[in-house]
Structure 1
Amino acid sequence: MDKSKILVVDDDAKLRDLLSRYLDQQGFIVETLPDARDIDRKLARNRPDLMVLDVMMPGEDGLAVVRRLRAQGEMIPVIMLTARGEDIDRIVGLEMGADDYLAKPFNPRELSARIQSVLRRHYAAPALTAHHDEDSLCVFGEFELHLGRRELTRKGKAISLTSAEYAVLAVLVTHPRRPLTREQLMEMALGKGNGESLDRSIDVHISRLRKAIDTGEGGPRYIQTVWGYGYVFVPDGQSGE
């Protein structure tokens, strides 16, 4: 099996060296950058499979990088490193389109686990119910979710989603009309059963998905809130919240 290529972008030279050595020992191919200036060149010439990106950097900071890349339709998986670990840092990173986040200081072993989890979500086949095989096509309104290709389209045009957003949508779509708690969604889609900011994190993913698929007026249609419980996917968009 080919080794996954990881690009670490952080202005802390000691941390770059530590992560490079540790992730290399874990079987990854690692390249590092001290800032964001050469990210575009790396993506074009020696594309990594995942990017570990520090939020606080001189020049273009990590949040600006993610926002710019997502606006360009670039969906490389990104794990953000936040200096303070406060909720607002994490939530803003997710809102910009990051796939996951990790607060400094952290154990490199945890970063390795996060990398493997995000890579599985992004590149592996989704977990399917007994009623859906890999070739399943789920249609709702103008949208088609191709589970085998891990692709969401609207009138034949692909819609960009992060690995986390796709995973959450796949769980919802394959469990139509079944209310799911935030914790259930985190565990089934992202493999996280608990942790800080659990509720707010899943709410951010839901918010971004709604912007992608609930484009009409009158509030959310397909992903509806079950007040005091969680969320439910309604294929025909008819039931009220």
Structure 2
Amino acid sequence: MRAVLVEPNPLIADALGRQLGMGKIRYDRQDWAGLEELLQQQGAEGLGYDAIVLGSVDDPARCVAALRAHQVGAAILCLLDRRCVATTVELLHAGADDVLVKPVVSAEVRARIEVARRRSRGLLSNAVRVGQLTVFLDGRDPEVAGERLRLSQREHAILGVLADHHRRVVSKEHIYDEVYGLSGADPLDKVIDVYICKLRKKIAEATGGARYIETVYGRGYKFEAPPEHEDPAPARPARRVLPGYAAFGRGGGEARLAG
């Protein structure tokens, strides 16, 4: 996970940076003017951040509104020096995803950013159901048809990243960054491949040989149910015709009273 930290006070920025690092969040420090310049040069898509953490900036609501006006889709987390309901409401109305009071704790910061990211992807709960698998994003082991699938810590973390991007290609670099963050000591080359192989084997054993993780060569991996495990499309309900009215004809036209 990558974030940009906007905090002009160097002592506070160092303390916040330590918490982000403990939460395995890679971050860049920018002042507000520098972030605005990046937006002008690269646009919202070019920033490449998962989150923007706004600290003690002048007029934070204006900053949040400016980010949203630039179509920035990253999670915006605002940090206040003290609790203030009016300021919190103003920031949320401006487009912030969440507001915290300093000092902050790494686990809470990461959790709140992850919740905002899930909402932006349309995930309304901590469970992602893919075919016979239910992947929980809150630390629980996944289930296959209601039976627990036991995974190691790394396997669970990698499956969580894939489930969070269900049906989308995820690069090996992105998986590594999400799972290892700043504390990773393993080399990037091959380590993700090894865990993907282990995941495939365990999922196949639990699902009768089904392959849920596909390699997209040159791009990464994609997690989705094989065709035989996809839920069938729901049948379209028959059109109901109210008593006393004729159904619409194929060529359109207004309904007419029958009789």
Asked whether the two chains share a fold, i.e. TM above 0.5, the reply is no
The structure with the largest helix share of the pair is 2
Q: TM-score with structure 1 length normalisation?
A: 0.45
Larger Rg: 2
